Structure 1
Amino acid sequence: MAVTEQKMSRMALTAMVVGGMVGAGIFSLPRTFAGATGPLGALIAWIIAGTGMYMLARVFQFLAERKPNIDAGVFAYAKEGFGDYPGFLSAFGYWIGSCIGNVSYWVLIKSTLGAFFPVFGDGNTVIAIGVASIGIWLFHFLILRGVQQAAFINSIVTVAKVIPIMVFIVLLFFAFKIDLFSMNLYGGDLTVGLFEQVKATMLVTVFVFIGIEGASVYSRYAKERADVGKATILGFIVVTGLMVLVTLLPYAVMERAEIAGLRQPSMAGVLESVVGPWGAMFVSAGLVVSVLGAYLAWALICAEVMFAAGKSKDMPAMFAKVNKNNVPVTALWVTSIIVQIIVITTYWSRDAFSLMLNLTSATTLIPYLFVAAYGLMIAKRGETYEVRPQERNRDLLLASFAVLYTLFMIYSGGLKFILLSAVLFAPGTVLYFIARREQGKVVFDKASDWIIFAVIAAAAIYGVYGLATGAISI
């Protein structure tokens, strides 16, 4: 059956970027940062993260322009530059990380409701899991009706969810107390040094920036290829400004230790301290809208990545199947099932939201590293620079910084999340095995692929051992 190719405008692509980035993370920033550092450390962390992610956004931009034939670029760049198995790992890592991120949305929604309805607790009670499960499948069937319809809803929701964040920022500007901000500046009673304070916030900054590649993932739908890069940069600028203000302004209305003691979403508690109980309700309502919109954006992105990987034969062929509305139906079903399973497992987690946040960041950094490295590779080779050769040195610098940034983020996350990521990547390789067998190809045709798999398998075994013995806690 023939299908009509759906196209998205620059504003729709920008909404995909903003919608993907403005989700659960921004509402949790005050407590998350206050538990680790004061305003000075927070500012340094955002300078590092903002600079690094800007470099990465620029890499996405110039790759979209110089490699217009590569769609769903998040993993396709890894395959193009480093081979089939690294391409698969990039696709799988991005997909599973996005699934875990989607779980964090449901946990935070239920935790938010738990402030008003104790039956939801911290978002991982039986009732909370049941309600989240209903939501997962409602969104699933909405998306099956068509990507264009879901993207249109996302554009509306993106506008709606920015409003409470802007109100929060304006009200805190009026309540700003310079003496309180100065007292909190160096972290108050924190005993660790500034470097450790900054390092402790790094995975959080990765989590809230995830989604910067939303336009790149949907590049096959763009009306104009140049819109992909422009939407990425515009979305980055808007969201970065919001996140920095949401992080820093609470230090001017509450003491650092008080902010660190708030329940999530901590934005609600901060605003309540300024304007009273209605502030918590206002932010909580905004969070529900925001997170549901972010879930919609990410459910779309998850399915699109698996569809593109199936189409390029990096995943089993079943993932390339679409329904009459041109929605990647198998990819969406598998994504929804995985999200459902992980939601159920949160029942046994002591701090489900933090675990989901950090694990999402750790798994997503691998695809980001491949993108940055591929940008560096083509700039060093001079590939595609027959056109506008004067841009080569600029792109070389951008990609170099992006590589260094992603490596530093992986280091900052620590060994625990590297091992937990390996526990997911090792069994996930079964999908690569199936895809290669479908094509009649040797599973690993390079010595380097065997080495990579051996390292992942060894790390996964050690990770499982750590979980079994309690050395690694979740």
Structure 2
Amino acid sequence: MSGADSGGGDTAATVDGGDHTAKLSLPTLTTMVVGSMVGAGVFSLPARFAQETGVAGALVAWVVAGAGMLMLAFVFQNLAVRRPRLDAGVYAYAKAGFGEYLGFFSAFGYWASACVGNVTYWVLIMSTVGGIWPALGEGDTLLAVVLSSVGLWAVYLLVRRGVKEAAAINRIVTVAKIVPIVVFVILALVYFRPSVFADNFAGAAYSGSLFDQISGTMLVTVFVFLGVEGASVYSRHARRREDVGRATVIGFLSVFAVFASVTIVSYGILPMGEIADLRQPSMAGVLQEAVGTWGEVFVSVGLIVSVLGAYLAWTLMAAEVLFVAAKDHDMPRFLARSTDADVPLPALLMTTVLMQIVLVVTLFSDDAFNFALDLTSALSLIPFLLAAGYALRIAVRPQPEDAEREPSRAELTAALLATLYTLFLLYAAGLRFVLVSFIVYAPATVLFVMARREQHRRLFSPRELVVLGVSLAGAAVGLIALGVGWISL
């Protein structure tokens, strides 16, 4: 975020709008998925995992996360084939399965997740430069926020003029950020110390039970896998609809191998307590221990390339979600406006404003990077859960359009496991981030009300009033909890 842990892909090149855009091939869609997932988050994996678990817990966590996310990938693959008329993936599936209000929440949550994920890029860039310029701290000082804000609005001004990344440039960026990660894994294996790895196997005194260790890593795995749905978000631009699902699975399996490798090899370089204390990007500190200062510089440069390749792409992806939702009359119509250069300007402005707000909030956070990372993951869980739930609903109760080909047992299994996995992720996120997510979600209902008023429709159905009540109650509890110190940022 991805994501989110995200990277360039060919995302920007796909926002050429409507029927005039060039259709995307399977290799291009696959590159988009890989680029969407490989971004800033992978550079934070060593410390984030070492703060929670040892080798054994990390292995189990990657198996759980890999299997769960693979089931979600299968869900997106199956839905892309079964529901080719649904565009913008995650949001469209939630609306089709559970109604307009929950579909609205899914669109808003996915958009907000992308915005908060983009903030992690600025925090990580400033933290990286902070290694040589202490005034930037770990990306959470006033100077760091001011400089990040300048960059934020500079990109906005660039994009509003219609400047988008070309597909060829995106492919180059994707390769450029994969190379330092692969080199990191190779060098870590060369300097691998079996005795250190063995000492890290069971965890440390602070890591708790194996279940606690695994639960503690779940949000970061969600963060780095954000982007697995990237091809689905731009499904309307695919040359062949079945390529959306194929690109999702191929891209996921490729990136999964990279993420797991980065995490596990790090345990053979330093004791996990020392890895846990590394400043972000922790990959740089691990490689510095192995090969010296040049290793830290190498990873830091790779991170900046990765983030620069990610930021514009995910800004445009976030704006695309708002734009498509407005086109479907689920957001106010002002968000459906675009310029002659096909830039959805109001959606882009709203995206930039939310990122600015979150940047300011990081000043009050105890750990700006981890807070933004975990909030990104938590906000994405509702959209993922609703998409998986829709796939499960189709598998259990096929609709008339499924008459020609009934859902298979494999589709039912994938949908069930994906639903259970996302429910587990909500549990693993903990009450803190669930309540903070409610604080973000509840005010968004104003946009839903605006859209309904524009259409001269009843504001809420009885079922929608129940959802509204739950969201407002959750937001109220969250605000009280923040106010009295029960939870903190």
TM-score by length of 2: 0.93
1:246-325 to 2 correspondence within 5 Å? 246-325=262-341
1:235-254 to 2 correspondence within 5 Å? 235-254=251-270
Deviations 1:214-261 (A, max 9, x none): 110011111222221111111101111110001000111111111111
Partner of 2:180: 164
Partner of 1:457: 472
Q: Distance in 1 between matches of 2:336 and 2:316?
A: 14
Q: Does 1:343 align with 2:359?
A: yes
Q: Does 1:434 align with 2:434?
A: no
The aligned amino acid for 1:195 is F
Partner of 2:403: 386
1:120-159 to 2 correspondence within 5 Å? 120-146=136-162, 149=165, 151-159=167-175
Q: Does 1:466 align with 2:481?
A: yes
Partner of 2:463: 448
Q: Which moved more, 1:177-186 or 1:263-272?
A: 177-186
Deviations 1:247-288 (A, max 9, x none): 000111111111111111100000000000000010001011
**Are the equivalent residues in 1 in contact too, given 2:207–2:213 (CA < 8 A)?**
no
Partner of 2:241: 225
**Are the equivalent residues in 1 in contact too, given 2:47–2:276 (CA < 8 A)?**
yes
Partner of 2:3: none
Partner of 1:31: 47
Deviations 1:19-55 (A, max 9, x none): 2211121100000101111011001001000000000
Partner of 2:434: 418
Q: Does 1:178 align with 2:194?
A: yes
Shift of the alpha carbon at 1:340? 1.6
**Are the equivalent residues in 1 in contact too, given 2:115–2:355 (CA < 8 A)?**
yes
Q: CA RMSD in A?
A: 1.7
The aligned amino acid for 2:134 is P
Q: Distance in 2 between matches of 1:153 and 1:118?
A: 33
**Are the equivalent residues in 2 in contact too, given 1:50–1:240 (CA < 8 A)?**
yes
Partner of 1:49: 65
Partner of 2:20: 4
Q: Distance in 2 between matches of 1:442 and 1:256?
A: 56
> Unaligned 5+ residue runs, structure 1?
none
Q: Distance in 1 between matches of 2:186 and 2:35?
A: 21
The aligned amino acid for 1:449 is E
**Are the equivalent residues in 1 in contact too, given 2:139–2:145 (CA < 8 A)?**
yes
Q: Does 1:63 align with 2:64?
A: no
**Are the equivalent residues in 2 in contact too, given 1:143–1:150 (CA < 8 A)?**
no
**Are the equivalent residues in 1 in contact too, given 2:331–2:448 (CA < 8 A)?**
yes
Q: Which moved more, 1:258-267 or 1:377-386?
A: 377-386
Q: Which moved more, 1:168-177 or 1:136-145?
A: 136-145
**Are the equivalent residues in 2 in contact too, given 1:362–1:417 (CA < 8 A)?**
yes
**Are the equivalent residues in 2 in contact too, given 1:142–1:150 (CA < 8 A)?**
no
Partner of 1:328: 344
DSSP 3-state at the match of 2:188: helix
Q: Does 1:98 align with 2:114?
A: yes
DSSP 3-state at the match of 1:160: helix
Q: Distance in 2 between matches of 1:465 and 1:145?
A: 43
DSSP 3-state at the match of 2:192: coil
Q: Does 1:377 align with 2:354?
A: no
DSSP 3-state at the match of 1:124: coil
Deviations 1:81-102 (A, max 9, x none): 1111000010011111111111
Seen in structure 2, the aligned counterparts of structure 1 residues 152 and 338 have a Cα distance that, compared at 3 Å, is farther
Shift of the alpha carbon at 1:155? 2.5
Shift of the alpha carbon at 1:329? 1.8
Seen in structure 2, the aligned counterparts of structure 1 residues 356 and 150 have a Cα distance that, compared at 3 Å, is farther
**Are the equivalent residues in 2 in contact too, given 1:21–1:239 (CA < 8 A)?**
yes
Q: Which moved more, 1:279-288 or 1:155-164?
A: 155-164
Partner of 1:84: 100
**Are the equivalent residues in 1 in contact too, given 2:113–2:379 (CA < 8 A)?**
yes
Report percent identity of matched pairs: 51
The aligned amino acid for 2:478 is G
Q: Distance in 2 between matches of 1:326 and 1:149?
A: 14
Deviations 1:371-410 (A, max 9, x none): 0000011111223443444x52110110000000000000
Q: Which moved more, 1:318-327 or 1:457-466?
A: 318-327
Q: Distance in 2 between matches of 1:197 and 1:186?
A: 10
1:108-127 to 2 correspondence within 5 Å? 108-127=124-143
The aligned amino acid for 2:466 is I
**Are the equivalent residues in 2 in contact too, given 1:59–1:395 (CA < 8 A)?**
yes
The aligned amino acid for 2:304 is V
> Unaligned 5+ residue runs, structure 2?
1-16
**Are the equivalent residues in 2 in contact too, given 1:22–1:208 (CA < 8 A)?**
yes
Q: Distance in 2 between matches of 1:235 and 1:142?
A: 29
Deviations 1:284-334 (A, max 9, x none): 010111112222221121011001100001100111112122222211111
Would you say how many aligned residue pairs link Structure 1 and Structure 2? 472
Seen in structure 2, the aligned counterparts of structure 1 residues 142 and 231 have a Cα distance that, compared at 3 Å, is farther
Q: Distance in 1 between matches of 2:163 and 2:322?
A: 15
The aligned amino acid for 2:72 is L
Seen in structure 2, the aligned counterparts of structure 1 residues 329 and 237 have a Cα distance that, compared at 3 Å, is same
**Are the equivalent residues in 2 in contact too, given 1:151–1:297 (CA < 8 A)?**
no
Q: Distance in 2 between matches of 1:135 and 1:223?
A: 35
Q: Which moved more, 1:167-176 or 1:133-142?
A: 133-142
